[in-house]
Amino acid sequence: MQLAHVSIDQLSIAAANMRHSKRAPDIADILPSVRARGVLVPLLVRPNGSPDTFEIVAGRRRYFAAKTVADERGKAAPLPCAIMEDGDDADALEASLIENIARLDPDEVSQWETFSRLIREGRTIADIAATFGLTEHQVKRILALGELLPRIREAYRREEIDAETVRHLTMASKAQQKDWLALFADPDNRAPRGWQLKQWLFGGQSISTKVALFAIEDYPGLIVSDLFGEESYFADADLFWLKQNEAIAATRNAFLEAGWSEVIVLEPSQHFHAWDHEKTPKKKGGKVFISVSHRGEVACHEGWLSHKQARRARANGEAAEAETPDKPSRPEVTGPMQNYVDLHRHAIVRLALLDRPAAALRLMVAHAIAGSSLWQVRTEPQRAANEIVAASLSACKAETAFTDKRREVLALLGEPDEGGAVAGRNGGDFGTASLFAHLLTLSDDDVMRVLGIVMAETLEAGSAVIEALGNHLNVDTAACWQPDDAFFDLLRDREIANSMLAEIGGKHVADGNVAEKVKTQKTIIRDFLSGENGRQKVEAWLPRWMKFPVESYTDRGGLRTADQWARVRSLFDCQ
């Protein structure tokens, strides 16, 4: 059996297909999935007499669903196919394909996390494709999600962005992705999607002066500015590219003079994929790749080799460092001896660590951020139940202040601010060791700042830990939160609204409106909070649900926050 992508016009239904008939099958149940994700389980096909055409043995409904989507969009994507060979058992092959697909994570972002971990562990794209019954093209398409900013990946995981839009965004530069995210988050603008996004990314010839590698004063052509002078563009695209290419050539020459073995300038249609390469320092033969977008943006990727070149470089380096050019007939130590050395060194080092708490602290922070084979740390995803909650959280004063402090910590670590978390990377031991080395250069105060962010990012929302910590820290919710539109929109219980009204306006006001609709009572509460419509303004009121410790309004139960506090309250009553 061979896995490959086959053009839809090269496929036809085999007469031997058990569901073969002239009538098109019912595809209503699978069509939405094919629209959103494409065909995931490969069709089972066999050659039908010519080397370029195949007939479908199993997968007729997937084929018709893909044709429907192609008719809707005016273009057809090749379909993943398992091409049978002589002697193959069709039923066994289809069962094997379905079992392999069942091993995959349910969403593509989780698949990317799995595939990326396997790549770091030394697995090739071909290995991953064979393990999960996918074509190499499908694996590369999943790995391309690594080109996205974390916020875009998470939005895709939450199905806020469709698959076609994500495919185009994987080809965008980081600057373009940030521009698109700004539109996506702005309620007054509409971020382009699908084919409109493709035009937005690659369709125009308007090239901003911000992307120029050369000095603007050296450009002899006309520069056009907007009415406010905030944005300016090169009027002559051909002249821009002439100057930009000269600057790219100068950049390439500067890298070569600095000792890099090779500098590769990619064509504008090519993209640099980090997942297809391995980080390699200059002294070990690492190369520089210069990528150029259609909008003129230039990015320099320093110190990379393809996986194949990196393996060859390591082999050559080991041979060069050997005392004799001859390859040893056997390793220096046996497997059991290596195990002996590893375990004794481990025992000695961990004992020494007990006397060095400052090093232990930094090592723990490095593990929490970068991960290792024994550490897996996940950040709180902050998944909102709906758009109302999401919008409220994004405008929250506490969330904004936290983002600013996280940006400061990223600067301490020497890393770019791409809108993602500091912790939860789950990388290899080299990344952990590198981060540990960097943390050793920071002061104790700065390390504690990093630790605070890491711990805060990994606190689970709605957990007993939040209640315990809020109580211990004596958190003042009113300092960074007040009831907003979302809070009142989500308040639907008339009895509770009346209890809140009693807290704010007094029992006589609550009793006088006890039979009113919840909407009316909420309006009165808001009048008290704003001091409008003749109501005396009430400052810094907090509903019981938002206090530390939390309190309930009824004995009905169903407030998980109160249940969590009840679990740990006895641990803190003595404080």
The pLDDT profile of the chain, 575 residues, written as one tens digit per residue, is 688 888 998 888 876 554 555 567 888 878 887 887 788 888 888 887 777 888 888 888 889 999 998 888 878 888 988 888 766 656 655 555 555 555 555 678 887 887 887 787 777 888 888 777 778 888 888 888 888 888 888 888 888 888 888 887 887 778 888 888 888 888 887 888 876 776 677 555 567 888 899 998 888 888 876 444 556 778 788 888 889 889 999 999 999 999 998 999 988 768 888 878 888 888 888 999 999 887 788 989 999 998 888 888 777 765 554 444 444 446 777 888 888 888 888 888 888 888 888 988 988 988 888 877 788 788 888 888 888 888 898 889 998 899 899 999 999 988 887 777 888 776 667 888 888 999 999 999 999 999 999 999 888 999 999 999 999 999 999 988 999 999 999 999 999 999 999 999 999 999 999 999 999 999 999 999 999 999 999 988 999 999 999 999 999 888 999 999 999 999 887 55
* Distance of alpha carbon 404 from alpha carbon 417, whole angstroms: 10
**CA angle at 34 for the pair 29 and 37, rounded to the nearest 5°:** 130
Between the alpha carbon of residue 152 and those of residues 177, 208, 273, the distances in Å are 8, 24, 17
Beta bridge partners of 273: none
Starting at the edge strand found earlier in the chain, the sheet holding 263-265 runs 263-265, 287-292, 298-306, 277-279
138 touches 38 (CB < 8 A): no
* Distance of alpha carbon 68 from alpha carbon 66, whole angstroms: 5
Predicted TM-score (pTM) of this structure: 0.49
Beta bridge partners of 290: 265, 300
**CA angle at 150 for the pair 144 and 156, rounded to the nearest 5°:** 70
Backbone angles phi, psi at 344, to 5 degrees: -70, -40
79 touches 63 (CB < 8 A): yes
* Distance of alpha carbon 292 from alpha carbon 304, whole angstroms: 17
**pLDDT value at position 216?**
87
Architecture of the domain defined by 2-157 = Alpha-Beta Complex (3.90)
Between the alpha carbon of residue 259 and those of residues 149, 254, 263, 283, the distances in Å are 31, 9, 10, 9
Of the chain, the end-to-end C-alpha distance in Å amounts to: 68
**pLDDT value at position 228?**
45
* Distance of alpha carbon 504 from alpha carbon 500, whole angstroms: 6
What residue spans define the domains of the chain?
A: 2-157, 250-321, 339-461, 477-572
* Amino acid at position 297, single letter: E
* Distance of alpha carbon 288 from alpha carbon 302, whole angstroms: 4
Burial of 352: CB neighbours in 10 Å, binned 0-12, 13-18, 19+: exposed
How would you classify the pairing of strands 207-208 and 223-225? unpaired
* Distance of alpha carbon 239 from alpha carbon 222, whole angstroms: 10
Long-range contacts at 261-269 (CB < 8 A, ≥ 24 apart): 261/285, 261/286, 261/287, 262/287, 262/288, 263/287, 263/288, 263/289, 263/290, 264/288, 264/289, 264/290, 265/290, 265/292, 266/290, 266/291, 266/292, 267/292, 268/292, 268/293, 268/294
